[in-house]
Structure formats: structure tokens, C-alpha cells
Amino acid sequence: MKRYLMLASLMAATGISTAFAAEDIKAPLLDEHNANIGQVTVSEIPSGVILRVEAQHLTPGWHGMHFHEQAECKGPDFKSSGAHVHTADKVVHGVRNAKANDSGDLPNLYAHKDGSATVEVFSPLVSLTPGKNSRPALLDSDGSALVIHAQPDDYQSQPIGGSGDRVACASLASNEGK
């Protein structure tokens, strides 16, 4: 609870709001059988994005989460979502790594004993729409995906922090024309 209050205070002090605007991207979170197990919402803010994940039916415990480079969520393994979002030719994973340049890195997600999880996190490593800054855009020409992994990310090991299999995926693509 203290961490949440500290984050809420930091967000208020920097003008970050958890209220979602009309241009937010919302996508269903799918499991390996293409069943809807939750929702993902991504909101752009001046210094990055706010990601909200609401999930059910996950294995209890910690799970790595990453933004992946394509808006493809074909189960059962979600390999169609590609690698992590990045701008470098040689990607170094992990926020605990001094040479990290992996823009898809996110904090871990915790699923309760009943398999439910709700989290809201801030990422300063990406933007939602192209052309706003030098950060990679989640809504570029081929979109992106949020992928949840079977194990927690250790924030250091290569290439994905030891987070293992991809167990859930949300395709993030522009709502234009829908």
C-alpha cells in the first residue's frame, strides 16, 4: 500500500493522471487458446505511457511483462508478436543492466491465488503515437503487443530476463478506421 501511495503522490506531483482520454488504446488480453482473460489500456502522457492491465486466469505468482514489436497475438506461443520494442541494433535487456537499451522492458505483474491481477505502471521508454519524440512508438505502422510471460523478469538476464514462455498477449493497434 505504501508503494501505491508513493507512486500516486509522484504521479500527482508530476501532473500524471490515471484518468484515461479518448485516444487511449484498449485491447483484450488473450490466453494461448485465444480466450479473452482481461483488458489492457495504454494512455500516452508527455513523458511516456501509462499501462493498465486487468487479467484473470493467470498462474498465481509473478510474471514478466514486455512490449513486443508487432500487433500480432497468434497463440499458443505468441511468437508472432516478435521481439521487444527497441531502437538499437543490439538490444540489451534489463533495467538493472547499466547498458540496457530495451524499450519494451516493464515491471513484473503479480497474479493472486485466484489468478486475477490488476496493475497500473508507467513506462518512460516508449510513446503511444509516432512522431512525438525519439522514443519508439507502440502505434507505428505494424503496431505492438503487450506480452505476459510465465515467469518473473529478473531485470538483467539476456534476452528476456528469464521470464520464460509467453502466456498472454494483447494486440495494440490504432483505433482509426474501426
Span 49-91, pLDDT tens digits:
999 999 999 999 999 999 999 999 998 899 999 888 777 677 7
Asked if the model's pLDDT at residue 18 lies above 80, the reply is no
- Domain for residue 139, yes or no? yes
**How many structural domains comprise the chain?**
1
CB atoms within 10 A of CB 33: 8
Q: Is residue 17 part of a domain?
A: no
Q: In terms of residue numbers, what domain contains 49? A: 24-172
In which band, very low, low, confident or very high, does the pLDDT at 117 lie, cut at 50, 70 and 90?
very high
Enter the pTM of the model: 0.82
What distance lies between CA 87 and its chain's CA centroid? 16
